Chains A and B, each alone.
Chain A
């Protein structure tokens, strides 16, 4: 019996229709009620943590399941590369895990699409357990609510190469403490080495503008404002550095990884880092480690920059009580403290940073960096606005590059960057 065209068309529709259902959601969030019995199967997604911390998370999950019989936590770990893309594919396909490891910039679009549970409503009883600034880091301008439990924090000092400082006639025991001192040291380094050693390897990012004291957004969070006089001043100074080769010529295309490598090989004299990097220097560049200098992060505001990790609960989870309980369990003071002892990160829970582990010297560099970082974290700020998307970062980076190459004035470049970022902000809705 021949297949009729109608039958074929019907078959084609049968194939295509289910596929066309794979569109994006965004029809508003689910319930914010997390009361009820803690039970059921939930999924928990982390961000590149299995390779190094498998036993820790397996133990954590086993303890939770023991504490709450009837729960079953399935742990998924995703690689660092393409993490945002994985989340967006899951969010669009309706397969977002119940509990997700996120950063504030990832939470913002998910919250706006109604996919992140408002913890001010669903878990307000836990709010007092966390540092005020850390809890606020997952608030989104233009929306009411907080959309993730704060998890670990990180910040770090500025590392410098004492040997390169000495060769350039700079005092290796008196590292620069202010922006003006950094710029002066960088120009001297470039002059003394005939442009062969740069001091900085990265163009200024949004957090650099923030640390320099530039107002990044208006108070309502509806428009960017980093093209003010202070912003132009910072970019003008970077232009001087670039012209003098005090800023690495490859800075325009550098990534944090590539600039880290340049610091390891002695091609640049200063680089921001964290306590994690010390072990790396010891293993990969023993000569550098012998000459490593550590100084405080440079800031004009009195507040250093911090990075915040969070744990979000999917607003559409069918197991809200278990998901909220588990997200809180992962981020409570006891477990954050225990995780901090596994790796050089800092808890976001109130009072944890006063633990002797973060206050008592033992003479090692690692402890010195840890104590200094913990102290600075108490009033640190996450300068990167949560609404500052990857596309906006690229716009800013490209305009900064044009200013450094002399294709545009610093003012024009920042005006263009603000205009482009505002347009993207409007399009985000």
Chain B
């Protein structure tokens, strides 16, 4: 009996080192093929002049030097940064308010929760086309504005209004997703805290600021980090609303749009597009670190 137990233990121990690797192998292979290899390849290409059909030569930092003198790169960086500045505060605050609104279990609330979540599951292409139709020079919104005497507004022809319109779509589409995250966080806020605050005479706004916000603070940081990374990498909304050229004179181009425009097609400049991708990666990581650091400082 004892000897068989020892033998089994030995067998288990013998299998231990290989077994985890075997279990992890499918995941590792997929990660290696679709994340690590493209990442390393992009990094390597950023230092070459590779084109779609022409293998590149090592050019050192030439692509990065070119970036510094490329007006379109600075336009892309400006727009991607503006997108973060415009979208992230809205996506941190509005879904929280929405979650508070639909948190209570009253009859019919499930309908509203589902309604707010619907844009998340809708195809971005369909959503984009609907918004283009709404905001067109002769669309529904402009017709209403004309009826009330405001006149037509160039939502899709003015570079700043176009960017603002795209941000609105991003916020509208993201509200439901972050609302669900906040709902989960709000469910963990002890009711006693609210009751104690109410007994102490705190009103609804004060309870929100002194009880709810501190309780969901870490979730707000998470939402801030997730939405800032997504906002910096924005592509679909701007592409659909501003067109492939990136708005009037390309003034609404974002960095990811620039990567797509530069690096794809039969004459794509893969090396240069990779250099832009590296910049996007560095800024994205920096944004994450910034948000996490701010959180840690606040905690301390």
Contacts and interface: CB of A to CB of B under 8 A. Distances in A.
Candidate in A91, A389, A397 with the most chain B CB atoms within 10 angstroms: A397
Interface in A398-426: 398-399, 401-402, 405, 407, 424
A267 B143 CA distance: 13
Nearest to B15: A1
A398 B14 CA distance: 66
A336 to B, nearest CB: 26
B53 A2 contact: no
A207 B87 CA distance: 40
B157 A253 contact: yes
A379 interface: no
B53 A24 contact: yes
A3 interface: yes
Contacts of A92: 52-53
A252 interface: yes
A87 B14 CA distance: 50
Given A1-B14, A391-B262, A19 B33 contact: yes
Nearest to B249: A401
B6 interface: no
A397 B51 contact: no
A401 B243 CA distance: 13
Interface in B29-65: 29, 32-33, 37, 41, 49-55
A193 interface: no
Contacts of A398: 245-246, 249-250
Contact of B264 (A3, A24, A85): A85
A110 B53 contact: yes
Contacts of A112: 53
B17 interface: yes
B157 A390 contact: no
Interface string B255-297: 0000001101111110000000000000000000000000000
A399 B245 CA distance: 11
A88 B264 contact: yes
Nearest to A255: B243
Interface residues of B, number: 40
B222 to A, nearest CB: 33
A109 interface: yes
A265 B139 CA distance: 11
B154 interface: yes
A106 interface: yes
Contacts of B147: none
A25 B248 CA distance: 37
B248 A85 contact: no
A350 interface: no
Interface in A41-96: 84-85, 87-88, 91-92
Given A249-B157, A391-B265, A402 B53 contact: no
A242 B52 CA distance: 37
Given A113-B54, A429-B54, A253 B247 contact: yes
Contact of B261 (A109, A248, A391, A405): A391
Interface string A376-392: 00000000000001110
A1 to B, nearest CB: 7
B52 A24 contact: yes
B138 interface: yes
20 contacts: A1-B18, A23-B55, A24-B55, A26-B54, A26-B55, A84-B264, A106-B266, A248-B137, A250-B136, A252-B248, A253-B157, A253-B243, A253-B247, A253-B248, A254-B243, A389-B267, A394-B244, A407-B249, A428-B51, A429-B51
Given A109-B266, A250-B137, 8 more contacts: A1-B17, A15-B32, A115-B53, A394-B245, A401-B248, A402-B249, A427-B51, A429-B51
Interface of B: 14, 17-18, 21, 29, 32-33, 37, 41, 49-55, 136-138, 154, 156-157, 162, 242-250, 261-262, 264-269
Interface of A: 1-3, 12, 15-16, 19-20, 23-26, 84-85, 87-88, 91-92, 106, 109-110, 112-113, 115, 248-250, 252-255, 258, 265, 267, 389-391, 394, 397-399, 401-402, 405, 407, 424, 427-429
The 10 closest A-B pairs by CB, nearest first: A2-B17, A113-B53, A401-B249, A252-B248, A109-B266, A389-B267, A253-B243, A398-B250, A249-B157, A88-B266
